[in-house]
Amino acid sequence: MAMKERQGQGRQPDRKLTLGEVAGMWLASIEPAEVVVDDRGDQISGSSSGRIRRQTWDQYESILRLHISPALGALPIREVRTSTCDAFLRSLTVDGRGSSNARIGKTVLRQMMSYAIRHDLYVESNPVAEVDRIPRKVVKPRALDTASLEAIREAVSMWRAEPGLSGPRPTSTLSDIIDVLLGTGARIGEVLALRWQDVDMSGDVGKVSITGTIVEPRKGSKYRQGYTKTSAGVRVVPVPRFVVDVLLRRSIESPTTNGVGAVFWSRRGTYMQGSSVRRSLRSALKAAGIDPTLAITPHSFRRTVATLIDREITDGAAAELLGHSNVDVTHKHYIEKLREVGDYRDTLQQLAGRHD
């Protein structure tokens, strides 16, 4: 109580200062350094070391712009209460949807109010600290079975192959990307960031080094970031024969205009973008009449790899391949639980009753 009284005797918050104004100050205070990109599309400076990633900042800015500011931006900062924050966050979830926005919104509000407290813009305790827990929507990982993979491969190989279509001629690029996704378990950004200098075919076993990822900020240039999502993500992956075949063929096909030396180059000779691959995959699946509710994305192949490695080897091997430092993450988001248990009939038969 004494501490609270001393706080109250200090600087009082401006009665006219709004939550929206505080949001702007907080967002500016955590913005990562501007990334400088060379003409090849590689990041050359502006590391976010010690600060949040640009992708995270973009996510926070989007939540503020689309949700928090329209609803609470005009509210004087001194009038923000736990009930205010709780009611707002609950409003973001409708019919079981929106829990992700609500959780991110809670993080943003909590950090904003902490900023306000540290700068004497708010003299109470953080009102978000007492907001009730936001239920997390449980999405069970789902792997693709053999039949689904065959259907996807067929859809991709036939996409835009019909005679008479205008536009660029189809290539094997999308099929090749899917093969490398399946043969490495890597994220789409990691696969598109592969350069020929990351490929080693000199020994008996082909290997690729996962050392970076493609970043697509909401504003500014897209670029290759020279590090992965986490430190555990930097890894050397021995690849199966079907991936070796893809890499060998693409190394022969790589044009002189491939200035970045990318395994998957764009028509302009730069790095391809994940958003472009996702659009192409959606178009190919739609053209083939594959059920859109299956929500097949490049990440579906990563879950498929994790599930297969878990079932055939161990969950630890799956986590290692995917670049996870914690196997719990692999289980929670990537490994599909077995629907069919082992054959224990002989053991269970011991429990049978006597039958005359």
Please say if the pLDDT value at position 202 is more than 80.
Answer: yes
Q: What is the pLDDT of residues 124-144, one digit of tens each?
A: 999 999 998 887 777 788 999
Q: What angle (nearest 5°) sits at the alpha carbon of residue 353, between those of residues 352 and 355?
A: 115
Which carries the bigger pLDDT value, residue 306 or residue 233?
Answer: 306
Give the chain's mean pLDDT. 87
* pLDDT recorded at residue 8: 47
User: With the C-alpha atoms ordered 286, 291, 293, 299, is the resulting torsion angle positive or negative?
Assistant: negative
| Selected residue with higher pLDDT from 33 and 273 | 273
pLDDT of amino acid 332: 87
> Region 271-283: what's the mean pLDDT?
94
276 pLDDT higher than 50 = yes
Confidence at 306, pLDDT banded by 50, 70, 90? very high
Cα angle value 71/77/83 (rounded, 5°): 60
Distances (CA, A) of 259 to 201, 249, 270: 21, 18, 7
DSSP string of 84-135? HHHHHHHHT-BTTB-HHHHHHHHHHHHHHHHHHHHTTS--S--GGGGSPPPP
Q: How far apart are CA 180 and CA 141, in angstroms?
A: 20
pTM of the model: 0.80
Per-residue pLDDT, averaged over 64-76, amounts to 95
Q: What is the pLDDT of residue 162?
A: 66
pLDDT at 355: 60
- Comparison of pLDDT for 218 and 105, the residue scoring more: 105
State the DSSP string of 230-243: SGGG-EEEE--HHH
Give the integer Cα–Cα distance in Å for 226 and 247: 21
The pLDDT-based confidence of 1 (bands split at 50, 70, 90) is: very low
pLDDT at 168: 65
What is the mean predicted confidence (pLDDT) over 184-197? 96
Q: How confident is the model at residue 6 (pLDDT cuts 50, 70, 90)?
A: very low
pLDDT of residue 12: 59
d(CA 303, CA 335) in angstroms, rounded, equals: 6
**What would the two tokens of residue 266 be?**
């764009």
Task: Between 21 and 222, name the one with better pLDDT.
Answer: 21
- How many Cα atoms are found within 13 Å in the side-chain-facing hemisphere of 36? 3
Tell me what the mean pLDDT of segment 286-305 comes to.
92
Domains along the sequence of the chain with CATH: 2-130 (1.10.150.130), 146-333 (1.10.443.10)
Q: Please report the pLDDT score of residue 65 as a whole number.
A: 95
